A and B are shown apart, each in its own frame.
Chain A
Amino acid sequence: MAFARLLIRRVALLIALLATVFVAVDLLPGNSARAVLGREAGPDQIAAKEHELGLDRPLPVRFFEWISGVATGDFGRTARGRSINELLADKFPPTLLLGGIAFLVTVVASLVLGGWWAARRGSMLSRLLQPTTTTAVAIPEFVVATLLILVFSLATGWLPAVTITGRSGFPASPDMLVLPVLALAIPQIGWNTRVVRAALLDAARAPHVESAVLDGLSPTKVLTRQVFPFALPTVVASFATTVGMLLGGALVVETIFNYPGLGAVLAGSVADRDTSLIAAVVALTGVVIMVMLAVADGIRAWALRGRA
């Protein structure tokens, strides 16, 4: 029951967000008819296009029509006449692949680094991790991306600088994924490593851990049985937030690496004032984030089972 209420609340939130997108794009100066036709177009041509696109109708009507379409699984058409469903079907899988790998890399790296750091305070590694994680968090993705390209591609020639799309719509070779994944993951690893470390240290201070240590359990057992389950809700919540950050960062990173994904579509659609397309991208990423939050909630409930 509680779950159903939560779901309704989140769907309502998403709809409100989408309505805000419609209003926000409408408030931007310029319109998609002009963007589509170019500056050569005369006023009558623009008026005809506006009518064709339905821009001459009131905003609430346009929003209602679009959202009722979405309810039946139809995101409508772009201002240039392409099916948005097809566009998303083409462009979302590569973004999902990039974001998915970056997410896995983030999870593994931050668990290992954070765990290590928590276990060996004062070691060489922890002295190194303190400044590097702070720096990684602070540097935006585009700077990381640029540095990676400079070092690993233009200076050494080890990895390709940009993605060339193969006939499948995915990168033509797997090594083209390395730098975009790193550019996306490095800032997130910086953040999550700190969270993991803090959560583990917090959990280790709990009284039952002390008694377990006094009971003579091995350090590994203490970590996996006593410490980690207590740190898990915090860590999972942080990872769930990371999903949103990765999707947001993908927009920038995809442009820099010429990666074929949703990010480039969103950038172009904002320039075009293509409301339906922008809202569709927001809806899709919104759903992904909602699902991840739900998963995080589930894990949290499971970790706290019988305790809260």
Chain B
Amino acid sequence: MGWNRRQLLRSGLGVGAVLLVAACSDGGNSGGPARRGGTLRVGALGSAARIERDPHANLSNDSDFLITSLVYDALTVPAADPNVAARLSNRWESDAERRRWTFTIADGATFHDRTPVTSDDVVWSLRRLRTVGGASKMPAAVEDITADGPNRVVIALPEPNTQLPLLVQLMTFTVKKDTTDFTKAIGTGPFRLESYQDGNARLVRNERWHGPAPLLDAIEITMFDSVTALGNAVLGGQIDLASNVGAIAGRTAEGRGDLRVVRRPNDTMVGVAMRTSDGPFADARVRAAVRLGVDRKALVNQVHSGYGTVGNDILGTGDPLYDKTIAQRTRDVDRAKTLLREAGFDTGKSYQLLTKAEAPGEVESAKVIATQLADIGLRLDVVTQESNAFYDQTWLKAPFYTVSWGTNDSALFFATKLMSSGSNRNETGFKDAEFDAATAKALAAPGDSEYAAACRDVQRIEYARGGYLVWGMADGIDIATSQVRDVPTLGGFARVQLERAWLAD
């Protein structure tokens, strides 16, 4: 085996990283020591028809995901910088090729029934995740996940991948070996399941958790079918925290002294995919014209109610390596018109902008974009499709459609998943040899500086000739009563990390 300790990933710093992140996560607005005790009542979105208790299945309900990630531990969890932190695994390292990854199980990790966590349990869970969840959740084949001693697990990948610690965050929920019935939900997480009723659950503190003990006595999770009901529940004082409730409720809560709006930046990207391989947007000049033709600030204000930030046509804005040195694109109607003319673009015709009511503001964004692009001579008909129909007929196929991605993954994650030639989710039909070479280089980068350099190249190509219009990022909006402290402030699924929260008097 050819790996040596100099090539340890710097991100694998261990439990210290968790503490650091916890210390950084602002939430409360007053000082004073954290108080132990109390029950936090949380509302989260979810639909009764989609209830799922299997931690390795596709968890489409926020409420189920919240319960799962408090009851079970994943190997790693999201963080700010570095963007991945330790959880059940406190240390990880790879070989020089970035293909063989070893994760070490945290000391003192035990299941809720007091049995210690062994590498057999983790291997069983990871293999099951691969079988049930498929390659998108666990990139290694079943036979390539093996135990290496009592507390180490090896994941061998077919291709080099520096991103593996990130890819396993909040996915690799560990259950006891041979578990297939999850009604008892015996995990290793900061909370134990006390009761469960149709998507609603009561969780109590796990005093023996291997991480820093939670302060809350209990968390009660109520499932809400609609954001309206979720917003009303927190406005009416029936819950303490409304998770991911959206900008409209945020505006309502803003004026209330007893409530606090928690903004989590870089939560959701709502943008436009332009087909680069063929069709009217294949010419890079046309795409540049579209990118110059929109007023990003106005879009953020109108579509996200101002709860967001302007984007620069690069995905992965929450990545610590997101390139802030690239000049911010601003509106230039004249330049856009010139580019369309140079490209010989037919402005006599009108083009379809397909959209769906999936992410909040997605349909509205299409309408605003159509109005704005009329100024550069691009005529758009906004067509709203039902979500299921959209994924059947439009996604990956149409020349011009809105997209949304709700994660805080790395720039490289989006590059490989959405823009590399071989990707099966290539939303823009992007095929660029230079781009593929840069992503491959980043995936196999032997050290931090090589990785950072390759990530910069990836982002510069995306910015210069990619197929995405990333006009802005929406903040995730949670509403909490003023007693709730230290709730997550990271975007994306980091919202489920409630183990550090506490209630002030």
Q: Which of B134-152 contact A (CB under 8 A)?
A: 134-137
Decide if A167 touches B195 in the complex (CB within 8 Å).
yes
Q: B392 contacts which of A29, A42, A264 (Cβ < 8 Å)? A: A29
Question: How near does chain A come to B270, taking the closest CB pair, in angstroms?
Answer: 15
Decide if B229 touches A257 in the complex (CB within 8 Å).
yes
With a CB–CB cut-off of 8 A, which chain B residues contact A28?
Answer: 386, 388-389
With a CB–CB cut-off of 8 A, which chain B residues contact A267?
Answer: 47, 49, 225
With a CB–CB cut-off of 8 A, which chain B residues contact A30?
Answer: 386-392
Decide if A268 touches B236 in the complex (CB within 8 Å).
no
Q: Mark B56-99, 1 if CB is under 8 A from A, else 0.
A: 00101000000000000000000000000000000000000000
Decide if B225 touches A258 in the complex (CB within 8 Å).
yes
What total of chain A residues lie within 8 Å of the partner, measured CB to CB? 50
Decide if B391 touches A39 in the complex (CB within 8 Å).
yes
| Interface flag for B48 (CB, 8 Å) | yes
Question: How near does chain A come to B52, taking the closest CB pair, in angstroms?
Answer: 6
Q: Which of A216-268 contact B (CB under 8 A)?
A: 254-258, 260, 264-265, 267-268
Q: A169 contacts which of B50, B198, B222, B393 (Cβ < 8 Å)? A: B198
Decide if A272 touches B50 in the complex (CB within 8 Å).
yes
Decide if A37 touches B58 in the complex (CB within 8 Å).
yes
Binding stretch for chain B, among A131-139, A152-160, A181-189: A152-160
Q: Which residue of B lies closest to A176 (CB)?
A: B238
What is the bound-complex CA distance between A269 and B238, given in angstroms?
A: 27
What is the bound-complex CA distance between A48 and B487, given in angstroms?
A: 40
| Interface flag for A35 (CB, 8 Å) | yes
Decide if A271 touches B392 in the complex (CB within 8 Å).
no
Q: A34-B388, A36-B58 are in contact. Are A162 and B232 (CB under 8 A)?
A: yes
Decide if B48 touches A41 in the complex (CB within 8 Å).
no
Q: A30-B392, A165-B198, A258-B225 are in contact. Are A78 and B49 (CB under 8 A)?
A: yes
With a CB–CB cut-off of 8 A, which chain B residues contact A58?
Answer: none
With a CB–CB cut-off of 8 A, which chain B residues contact A37?
Answer: 58, 134
What band does the interface of chain B fall in when counting residues whose beta carbon is under 8 Å from A? 35 or more
Q: Which residue of B lies closest to A268 (CB)?
A: B49
| Interface flag for B248 (CB, 8 Å) | no
| Interface flag for A274 (CB, 8 Å) | yes
With a CB–CB cut-off of 8 A, which chain A residues contact B236?
Answer: 153-154, 157, 160-162
Decide if A271 touches B226 in the complex (CB within 8 Å).
no
Q: Mark A161-193, 1 if CB is under 8 A from B, else 0.
A: 110111111000000000000000000000000
| Interface flag for A215 (CB, 8 Å) | no
| Interface flag for A50 (CB, 8 Å) | no
Decide if B229 touches A91 in the complex (CB within 8 Å).
no
Given A28-B388, A41-B134, A267-B225; 16 other pairs, CB 8 A cutoff: A28-B386, A28-B389, A30-B387, A30-B392, A34-B391, A40-B136, A40-B137, A82-B51, A153-B236, A162-B238, A165-B222, A169-B198, A255-B225, A256-B228, A258-B230, A274-B49
22 contacts between A and B (CB under 8 A): A29-B393, A30-B388, A34-B391, A35-B388, A37-B134, A42-B136, A80-B50, A91-B48, A91-B198, A161-B229, A162-B229, A162-B238, A165-B197, A167-B197, A255-B229, A258-B225, A258-B226, A258-B230, A264-B48, A267-B47, A268-B225, A271-B387
Mark A residues whose CB is within 8 Å of B.
Answer: 28-31, 34-43, 45, 78, 80, 82, 87, 90-91, 149, 153-154, 157, 160-162, 164-169, 254-258, 260, 264-265, 267-269, 271-274, 277
